[in-house]
Amino acid sequence: MLATSRRRVSVQVDVQSQGGSPGPVPDRFLTSSEQILAASDRPDAPLTCGFLVQFEGKLDAARLRCAVREASRRHPMMRAALYGARQYAWRFGTEPPAGSVGLVEDGSSGWDVHEMMVSGRFDLHAHPPLRIALVRGPDGDQLSLVAHHLAVDGMGLTAILSDIIAEYRLVEAATVTAGPVDTHVGLPAGVPPGAKAAVAGWTAFTRRSGRHITPMGTGRDTGYGYQPLTLPVPGRVLLGSGRRITVNDLLMAATHLTIDRWNRQRGGESGTLRIRMPISLGNAAEVGGNNTGQALVVTEPADRADLARLAARVVDQTERAKQAAAAPPIAGVAGKVGMVATELIPGPWRVPLLRWGVRAARPLITPAAAVSNIGSLSSLASDEPKISSVYFTGTVGMPQGLLICVAGYGNNIHVTFGYHRHLFGREAASAFANLFRTAFGELTRIGSAM
């Protein structure tokens, strides 16, 4: 069990790098897409995005704490909090609160800590939407960075991670003493204790629906687990028409094929499958927030019976999605209804009514899974601190229950299967990842078969 305490560490920091306290940032109400996300969020299944970074050596906890403080001056969401009982708005503090960076050195693995960070309920009124923990490990330290998806999307969190690492390189421990730094030992402030037991109410529904993944090896604990997978970057793959299949297309097609095979091998149904794909909206708010739209990629059993046909079907849809003027924050009919509701429902009643509507429609509007590819993170590479791998992560509740996140680093593709514990147990998640590896490999070879 992770213990939580505090100790004071003397650290030396260049005063010039601090630049004084950040200027005041005005409050702002949630955008329409943020309001829909707020309605979709559930205390026992928070919507998050995150990174788990593996370093080759040890990091200095005090330097990291100072790097986080400096990065927060450029990213107000690192020191934000919600206020309002019905009509939410963001309020931005001048400094991140004490205990915002945890230090875990009790032998817990980075993945175990990361799972606790994403699974615990977020009280966004009392604590900032970001959780950061440095995890000591025998093969090098790991940095767990988790954000509530209402406040930050994947690209926004990438910018925060990049700035934290850049500031860590700049902070020197041999300049002017800036005073004691409060290093929080254990999980960062605001992370509740371990997972709670709950009835797996969606299991029977997903097994019979034909539109979702067949559950296996599930338990009663709420929260999320992760199954990492490393793949080599594939060579150039072309369709018979000469069109190129991108890595993202291969990942999307492999997800459709894996779910189809998984369901059939386990006696489940496999009908029309819809996989969600995030797309940047291109109109970011001035102060952080979620700037991600969504598109759906749909396949039928006949598509998945032929690899070349499956790849072509996926490419057709992803190309159309990228050419669209703007992707909706929630894909499909549900997204259109939600956007209209945010305009027509009076402010004080908007969030409660949206939340009720999402709860009622959830069995009909949820896709089978989602694939989120953050792209290459090779720009993070340096000799100090030296990074060996970066995994991008996300979470989503049942009945979907699976979010596949992807990040490129070096010559590898790091894939993370983020699953709700009412969908998979650990052995089932490992089996699903192996099935995905096989499907991805088959799809990379279709060009040579045509």
Cis bond leading into 385, ω under 30°?
A: yes
Neighbouring CB atoms inside 10 A of 321's CB total: 17
* C-alpha–C-alpha distance, residues 331 and 39, integer Å: 15
Tokens for 342? Answer: 């945010």
Q: Say if CB 338 and CB 330 are below 8 A apart.
A: yes
**Residue 17: pLDDT over 60:** no
Report CA torsion sign: 374, 378, 383, 387: positive
Per-residue pLDDT at 365: 79
**Residue 297: pLDDT over 90:** yes
Hey, what's the torsion of the CAs at 7, 10, 14, 20, to 10 degrees? 50
**Structural domains present in the chain:** 10-15+23-185 (3.30.559.10), 203-449 (3.30.559.30)
Mean pLDDT for 123-132 is 92
* C-alpha–C-alpha distance, residues 215 and 220, integer Å: 13
**Residue 69: pLDDT over 70:** yes
Ranges 180-189, 310-319, 354-363, 401-410: which has the least confidence:
180-189
Per-residue pLDDT at 282: 56
Report CA torsion sign: 71, 72, 76, 80: positive
> Per-residue pLDDT tens for 382-427?
888 899 999 999 999 988 899 999 999 999 999 999 999 999 999 9
| Residue type for position 27 | D
* C-alpha–C-alpha distance, residues 263 and 215, integer Å: 9
Report CA torsion sign: 262, 264, 269, 273: positive
> Per-residue pLDDT tens for 266-293?
887 788 999 999 876 555 444 455 556 7
* C-alpha–C-alpha distance, residues 53 and 67, integer Å: 16
Q: Say if CB 110 and CB 135 are below 8 A apart.
A: yes
* C-alpha–C-alpha distance, residues 114 and 147, integer Å: 11
Closest C-alpha to 373, from 400, 409, 337, 341: 409
Place of tokens 């606790």: 116
Burial class (CB in 10 A: 0-12, 13-18, 19+), 160: buried
Closest C-alpha to 225, from 216, 233, 212: 216
The packing angle between helices 307-323 and 426-444, to 10°, is: 90
Mean pLDDT for 221-249 is 92
Q: Say if CB 229 and CB 415 are below 8 A apart.
A: yes
Q: Say if CB 342 and CB 335 are below 8 A apart.
A: no
Per-residue pLDDT at 206: 67
Place of tokens 């960062």: 188
